[in-house]
Amino acid sequence: MKNSKYFKSFGEHLRQLRESSGLTQKEVANKLSVDNSLFAKIERNERPPTKKFISNVAMFFNVDEKELHNEYLSDQIAYRIIGENADLDILRVAEKKVSYIKNGEKC
C-alpha cells in the first residue's frame, strides 16, 4: 500500500515525477528557476515548498496543482499530529472548526 498516492509525501511525488521524466535534480531546478540545493531539500522533505513552487511544478510536469498542494498540506498536518502525540480525533475537531470558520456554522 506504500505506492498509494495518499501515502506518498510531496517530496516523494516530486522525485517520482522527475525520475519518470528522466531528468536530474539540476535540470528540473534550472527549469523551475530554483537553486539546485533547495530543490534537493524539497525533494527530501527537508524544506517546505512555496505555493509558487508547487504551481510551477504542476505546470512543468503537467499535473494537478490542487493534488500537489493537498499532498503538501496533508504532510504538514500528519507530521504536526505525530509531533504533538495527538489523537486522530483532532481531525474531527479541526473539520468542525474549518466548517465554522468558512461557513459560519457552529461547532
pLDDT tens string 62-99: 999 999 999 999 999 988 888 888 888 888 898 899 88
Q: How would residue 8 be classed by pLDDT, with cut points 50, 70 and 90?
A: confident
pLDDT tens string 31-52 = 999 999 999 999 999 999 999 9
Backbone phi, then psi, for 67, in 5-degree steps? Answer: -60, -45
Q: What is the mean pLDDT of residues 5-32?
A: 92
Nearest to 53 by CA among 11, 19, 7: 11
Q: Which CATH class is domain 5-103?
A: mainly alpha
What is the per-residue pLDDT for 86?
A: 86
Q: What is the mean pLDDT of residues 2-28?
A: 87
Question: What single string gives the DSSP state of each residue in 23-68?
Answer: --HHHHHHHHT--HHHHHHHHTTSSPPPHHHHHHHHHHHT--HHHH
Which residue did the predictor score with more confidence, 3 or 29? 29
User: What does the alpha-carbon distance between residue 2 and residue 103 come to, in Å, rounded to a whole number?
Assistant: 36
